[in-house]
Structure 1
Amino acid sequence: MSGDGDAPSDRLRDRADQSRWKLWAFLEADRWLVAGILVAFVFLVLVGAGYLYPTTENAIRSSDSVDTLFQGFLTATITGVTLVLTLNQLVLSQELGAVKDQRERMEGAMAFREDVAEVIEAAVSPSRPAQFLRALVQVSGDRAEDLREAVPDSDDGDLASEVADLTDSLVGNAERVASGLDDARFGEFDVISSALNFNYSWKIFTARRIREQYGDDLDEEGTEALDRLIEVLQLFGPAREHFKTLYFQWELINLSRQILAASVPALLVSAVMIIFFNDATYSVTVFGVETLALVMAVAATVAVVPFLILLAYVMRIATVTQHTLSIGPFILRETDDVTEVEWNRDS
């Protein structure tokens, strides 16, 4: 086995081949803010198109566009409510089960917590997700320090260099992520955001590569320190995936509530426009400006709000899923910092 290169960045926004603003909109920004921006964009486009087109009022009154448009919105809103019910059933299906299934879930959770408690050398592992992940991150930093001390000055310059690169990167990354998890609360995106910035996959790969390539050059203390580091890194993966799953369920529940709340005014507005504005006889001017286009823009924007809320939430869920598809030392994203690793069958 040969070939090496600089490790990819620890921060997700640097690893991903996407602009900072795009990742901010997809991940970091508050979902209500994103939905509000989308609502404002739709409204401004509709108003702008309505007043830039010189014969807007005549075009609306001489066609059945009001009836056609809002009947489509009415159908889409009802379909959206049905989708919300489906999402709720999906979330509930994860929680329903026989006593045997629930007991197996409980035993699995307790066994994992005991494994983590043993690794972090605590009587009981933390109960809060942010503290749980923070403990694993801090212990990984401590064990990286132990590895650095166990391989201080090796005769093999390559070994010393690779261990130094790994431990320096891991210690710094662990400090930043642990700091981000300090005040994080589950239900907010801070926990998952900080966890995404801990590049454990690459660190497991690098640590295992060091063990396989330089195992004969490591003494007993160095080998034990490396194995202990790999052990805690391997626990971080399932912990992050578990809390990511719980966060998705939390977000789907919030999404369901918000879409249901937004669907009521959307349904009412669509129904009012179909019943009372179908012939487009509305004619009110303010300061000499016809307001029919403005009313149509407001009504259409309100009718499309449930879809925009869905879009805002799905953007984040889909982006997080894309960047966490694999668990363990697999690098799925194309990054400029990761070079090809060549494997020699004869070595």
Structure 2
Amino acid sequence: MSADPDAGPDIEAEPKDDVDIESDHDSDIGTANTMQARSSESRIKLWATMRGNRLLITVLLAVGFFLGFVIVGELFIPNFESTIHSDSMISYMFSTMISAIITGTTLVVTISQIVISQENGPLGDQRQRMSNTMDFREYTEEMIDSPAPADPSAFLREIISATDRRAKILRDAIADNGNDELRAEVDEFTESLIENAEEVRNELEGASFGSFEVLNAALNYNYGIKIFQVERIANDHPEDLTDEDMAILDGLKSTLSMFGPAREHIKTLYFQWALMDLSQMILYAAVPALLVAGSMLGFFSGLSLPNTTFGVSDTTLVVGAALTITLIPFLLLISYIARVATAAKRTLAMGPLVLRESQR
């Protein structure tokens, strides 16, 4: 780092400041790539909101609610059995659940209609969608020098492989450059990119669309900060880079930029797929939930269960189990929307914009 020429020959920056600035500069190049490394959230939270199977998450939520209900009923409400039969508590509880299930199911049907409406439109709009899709595929084929795959995971792998190849070309082109700082920056940057590309390609291998595996792997490719690094290297060392070097950097930047819209398109398709899955599952779960709620309302309001199971009142167990079953549609909604909302939050910005404090 050189001193300011206008400050005079006797004025130098303090050594400590030089070290701090250089350290920050190096940390920018080595920014974490994977979703886990980029966030400060625990693995358990990421698994629960993103990676875990949604049906398994729903079951765990249901089990947690049931156990919580039983514990509260047994430990904190000693007269729970008499309370549940007094003041029409059963009737109030499950009549409310019937209304909630019907309202929630109607809401889900509305969500499905919104998703379906996005696919409808006049012929001109459909033709424009097709034209935009084919233009993007043709540009991608020029970039990867091969036909663009039809499978979403293979399509993303080809783009990532293209960034990997161009990063290696950049590293080889700068290998003989006389600027040691430039060579060190490019080596660190390309090493990080190549390592990240290999990791994501392995995750995409065999991943099928419809599951979260494709989008989860795509989120682990931190393309935005890589675009920024390409721009920064070109801006910081214009005098040390030849026209050929600049062309290689521009090519790498273009390839990285293609990953953004490709990932966003696949993310949109996955969101639509997931919301339709959610709608179907809630509709399926609504029928047994209504049956249980109606049965409790019609048959259990005056029924007394004096026995216990494992030291727990049967009344508490039956009411807790019935209430849990009626909540299944809502728990499904929680598990699916948690994933969709988290993925959407992590991909709000397209391109080299850093929204997370941990990445600044």
**Coarse TM-score class (shorter-chain normalised):** over 0.9
Q: 1:4 aligns with which of 25, 47, 52?
A: 25
d(CA) in 2 for partners of 1:268, 1:67: 14
d(CA) in 1 for partners of 2:87, 2:177: 83
d(CA) in 1 for partners of 2:239, 2:257: 23
Look up the match of 2:86. Answer: 62
Aligned AA for 2:61?
Answer: L
Residue 43 (1) aligns with residue 58 (2): no
Q: 2:237 aligns with which of 200, 203, 214?
A: 214
Q: 2:108 aligns with which of 80, 84, 91?
A: 84
Residue 281 (1) aligns with residue 303 (2): yes
Q: 1:228 aligns with which of 228, 232, 251?
A: 251
Residue 110 (1) aligns with residue 134 (2): yes
d(CA) in 1 for partners of 2:86, 2:258: 66
Look up the match of 1:304. Answer: 327
**CA distance 1:119–1:19, shift in 2 (3 Å):** same
d(CA) in 2 for partners of 1:37, 1:48: 16
- SS of the aligned residue for 1:105 comes to helix
d(CA) in 2 for partners of 1:299, 1:289: 16
Q: How many angstroms does 1:61 deviate by?
A: 1.7
Does the Cα contact within 8 Å between 1:57 and 1:292 map onto a contact in 2?
yes
Look up the match of 2:164. Answer: 141
Q: How many angstroms does 1:154 deviate by?
A: 2.2
Does the Cα contact within 8 Å between 2:74 and 2:312 map onto a contact in 1?
no
Look up the match of 2:195. Answer: 172
RMSD of the TM alignment (CA)? Answer: 1.5
d(CA) in 2 for partners of 1:157, 1:75: 71
Does the Cα contact within 8 Å between 1:50 and 1:294 map onto a contact in 2?
no
d(CA) in 2 for partners of 1:242, 1:290: 53
Q: Tell me the alpha carbon deviations over residues 243-296 of structure 1, each in whole angstroms, 9 at most, x when there is no partner.
A: 000000000011001000111111111122222223x33335256964111111
Q: 2:287 aligns with which of 249, 253, 264?
A: 264
Look up the match of 2:220. Answer: 197
d(CA) in 1 for partners of 2:312, 2:201: 58
Does the Cα contact within 8 Å between 1:17 and 1:334 map onto a contact in 2?
no
Q: Tell me the alpha carbon deviations over residues 87-126 of structure 1, each in whole angstroms, 9 at most, x when there is no partner.
A: 111111110000000000000000000000000001x211
Q: Where do 5+ consecutive residues of structure 2 fail to align?
A: 1-20
Q: 1:16 aligns with which of 31, 39, 43?
A: 39
Aligned AA for 2:305?
Answer: S
d(CA) in 2 for partners of 1:41, 1:330: 39
Q: How many angstroms does 1:5 deviate by?
A: 4.0
Q: TM-score, normalised by structure 2?
A: 0.89
d(CA) in 2 for partners of 1:289, 1:231: 65
Look up the match of 1:343. Answer: none
Does the Cα contact within 8 Å between 2:285 and 2:329 map onto a contact in 1?
yes
The structure, 1 or 2, with the larger RCO (C-alpha pairs under 8 Å, 6+ apart) is 1
- SS of the aligned residue for 2:238 comes to helix
- SS of the aligned residue for 1:215 comes to coil
Q: 1:315 aligns with which of 338, 341, 349?
A: 338
d(CA) in 1 for partners of 2:350, 2:150: 23
d(CA) in 1 for partners of 2:326, 2:45: 26
Aligned AA for 2:170?
Answer: L
Q: How many angstroms does 1:321 deviate by?
A: 0.5
Q: TM-score, normalised by structure 1?
A: 0.93
Look up the match of 2:356. Answer: 333
| Pairing 1:116-135 to 2, within 5 Å after superposition | 116-122=140-146, 124-135=147-158
